Amino acid sequence: MSKKKAVINDVTDSLKSGSPRRIGVTVFGILLFFVGAVGMFIPLFPGRTTMLLALILLSVQSPTVHAWVKRKTQKYPRIQSRSDRIRNWVINRVHK
């Protein structure tokens, strides 16, 4: 297993352990999801983008959400690559 993969596995394990970082990522993800839901009804507010960012944050610790995001973005390789980059960025930031 590569070093980067091992770091990502360590981070996801620490996120699953109930650490304050896990709680922070979860709360921020849920908050963004609700803000995105409200943004769907407010003109000129990027509701879909906010909801996608929330799902990416929640996918850091939930394999079910991660699989769902992967499955839904398979048709759009640019969106999938960006969501993977954001997810990896979050994992690396939480690890520090």
pLDDT digits (tens, 9 = 90+) for 27-53: 899 999 999 999 889 888 888 889 888
CA distance 65 to 19: 20
* Prediction pTM value: 0.69
Q: Are 58 and 30 contacting, i.e. CB atoms less than 8 angstroms apart?
A: yes
**Residue 21 reports pLDDT greater than 70:** yes
Q: Are 47 and 37 contacting, i.e. CB atoms less than 8 angstroms apart?
A: yes
pLDDT for 3 equals: 55
Reading the block at residue 8, the tokens are 């990502």
Return the SS3 of 43.
coil
Crossing angle (nearest 10°) for helices 63-73 and 47-59: 130
